[in-house]
Structure 1
C-alpha cells in the first residue's frame, strides 16, 4: 500500500467558504458533463466533489448523485448548501483511492484538476482501480488535469495576483512555483495578504503527460476514448492548458 499523500497536501482547502466563492461561477465542466449524461438515467458518482459545485445542480436536474471528498470541511459546506436549496445528494467523506460505496455506476467524473493530487504512480493506479470497482463494464470515467507546459515549468515562476474574498476584502496572493522534472511534481507556495492578516499555504501537484496517461489507463483496464485540450472540446496541443480525459472501462 502506498503512503497516504493527501493529508499533508490540503492546505488550499482550509477555508471552504473562500474556495466556494472563488469557483462558484465556473460552469464549463458542468456543461460538458451534462451533455454526456443526456441519455443516462443511472446513479452517477462524483469524486473530489468539493463544496458541491457540480453535484448540486446535477441533482437538481434529477440525477441521483453520490458525491465523495476527503475533506470534511468541504463536504460539510456542500451538505449545508444542498439543504438550503432543498436538494438531495449522497455526500460522504472518503478517500478516492479506497472507495467503499454501496452502488456501482455507468458514469464517474472528477473535475478541478484533482488528478494532480495523486502524486505517485501507486496512488494513480489505486485511484483507477478504485474507480474500476465502482463502474459497470463499459462505464465511463471523465476527469481533467493540467497539461504540462514545458516553457512554464522549466523556470521558477514568481507572480502576484489579486482577488476579492467572500467578505469583499481585497486579497493579494504572491505565488512561487517550482517544478521538479524527476518527480513531475510542481511545488507551489503562496503568501496571502489581507488588510489585517497574512497567511501562507502550499500545494504539490503532479503532472502527467498524454502518452503516459494513455498507458496508465490501458494498464488499469480502461480504453482512452478522447483527450481534449479544454472542456469546450478543443483539440489537445502543446499549448493547451488542460487535458480533459474521457475513458471507458473495458467490458
Structure 2
C-alpha cells in the first residue's frame, strides 16, 4: 500500500483529473449489468459518482479516510447518494451481493503479494450476485519501460498542475524496478518555483503480466471472459497499454 501518497485527496484529484474514457466505460458496464454496483478502491468517487447519478445503487470501499471524505463531499455537491465504506479490498464482508464489482485506475496494483491479489479476488467473488461480473483495469507491463527505471529523479511535465493556493506545481519522479517482486518503487516530489519538495511521497506499484493474470484469478475462483486493450474494447494485443478484464465466477 502507498497510504502517504493518498493522504491529500484534493492533491490526488488535481494530479489525475482525467479518466473520462474510463468513467464512460464503467458507466456503460453498470448499465449493461443493471442493479447494484460496488467499486473497490473507489478513491474520491470519480467513476462511482457518475454511475450513481445514472440511478444505480452504489457502494464505494476505500482504505483512505481522506479519500472517502472527499468522495462524500463531491457526492453531496452533486446531490448524489452513495454509500461509502472504509475497508481493505483484500478482506471485506459487506453482508450483501452486487451485480457489478469493479476496480479501476490500477488500484489493484497496490496489492504487491500474489496472496493479497488472490484474497482480493476471493472477497470480490463472494460479493457477486448470480450473473454478476468483476471488471478491472491494470496496465500491460512494458519490459523496456521497466528497465529504464534507474532511480534518477526526472521532471514529469505532463503531470504538472495548478494549485489554487500555490500556483503551478511541478512533479518529479524517481523509480527503480524490483524484478523479483515485480514492483516499481517510486518517490514523487512536488514543488513550485518558490517551494521545493513541499510533498515527497513514495508510490510502489506492482506489475501483473498477461500470462499470470488468469492464474491469479483462477485461484480466486474467477475466470476472464473478455480482455480488451483499450477503452474502445479493441482486442488485447502484446503492445496494448491496458489490460481491461471482464471476469465471472469460475
TM-score (norm 2): 0.91
Task: Work out the CA distance in 2 between the residues paired with 1:153 and 1:234.
Answer: 24
Partner of 1:196 in structure 2?
Answer: 195
Indicate the residue corresponding to 1:3 in structure 2: none
Find the residue that maps to 2:93 and give its secondary structure.
coil
Cα displacement string for residues 28-77 of structure 1 (whole angstroms, at most 9, x for unaligned residues): 11211222233433111011111111111111110100111000000001
Tell me which residue corresponds to 1:166.
163
Unaligned runs of 5+ in 1: 1-5
Q: Return the alpha-carbon distance in structure 1 between the equivalents of residues 182 and 236 of structure 2.
A: 20
Q: CA deviation at 1:115?
A: 1.1
CA distance in 1, matches of 2:186, 2:104: 20
The question of 1:40 aligning with 2:33 is answered yes
The structure 2 residue matched to 1:125, chosen from 108, 113, 118, is: 118
What secondary structure does 1:210 align onto? coil
Q: What SS does structure 2 have at the residue aligned with 1:37?
A: helix
Q: What is the TM-score when the length of structure 1 is the normalising length? A: 0.91
Task: Give 1:237 shift.
Answer: 2.6
Give the alignment partner of residue 135 of structure 2, picking from 142, 145, 150. Answer: 142
Q: 1:39 to 1:164 in 2, by over 3 A?
A: closer
- Offset at 1:152? 0.8
Unaligned runs of 5+ in 2: none
RMSD over aligned Cα atoms = 1.6
1:24 is paired with a residue of what secondary structure? coil
Aligned-residue offset at 1:197: 4.1
| 1:50 partnered with 2:12 | no
